[in-house]
C-alpha cells in the first residue's frame, strides 16, 4: 500500500533523500512526457525536466497539498517551459 503523498512530502522536506527519489522516480516520466509534448524536442524536454526537479527540490517545503503533487510538479514544468 502506498503511503499518503503528504507524508512522503513531509519526509522529503525533512531531508530524506530516499523519499525524494521515490517521489521523483514515480513522476519523472510523466513530467518528461508533458515537456516533450510542449517542446517536441527530446534534448530540450530533458533539460526542462531536470530544471523542474531542481525547482521541486528547492521549493518542496512550499507544497500545500491543494492539488496533487503531480499537478504541482506539472505546473512548475509548464512555468519552466514558458521561461524559454
The DSSP 8-state label assigned to residue 15 in this structure reads T
Summarize pLDDT for 23-49 with one digit per residue, the tens. Answer: 888 899 999 999 999 999 999 999 999
CA 58 – CA 68 distance, rounded (Å): 18
Domains defined for the chain, CATH in brackets: 5-82 (1.10.1740.10)
**Which triple of cell numbers denotes residue 21?**
527519489
Q: What is the pTM of this model?
A: 0.89
Q: Please state the φ and ψ torsions of residue 78, each to the nearest 5 degrees.
A: -65, -40
What percent of the chain is modeled with pLDDT above 70?
98
Amino acid at each position: 500500500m502506498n503511503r499518503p503523498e503528504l507524508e512522503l512530502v513531509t519526509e522529503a522536506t525533512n531531508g530524506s533523500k530516499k523519499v525524494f527519489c521515490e517521489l521523483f522516480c514515480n513522476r519523472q516520466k510523466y513530467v518528461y512526457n508533458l515537456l516533450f509534448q510542449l517542446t517536441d524536442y527530446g534534448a530540450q524536454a530533458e533539460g526542462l525536466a531536470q530544471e523542474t526537479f531542481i525547482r521541486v527540490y528547492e521549493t518542496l517545503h512550499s507544497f500545500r497539498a491543494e492539488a496533487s503533487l503531480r499537478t504541482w510538479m506539472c505546473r512548475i514544468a509548464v512555468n519552466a517551459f514558458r521561461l524559454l
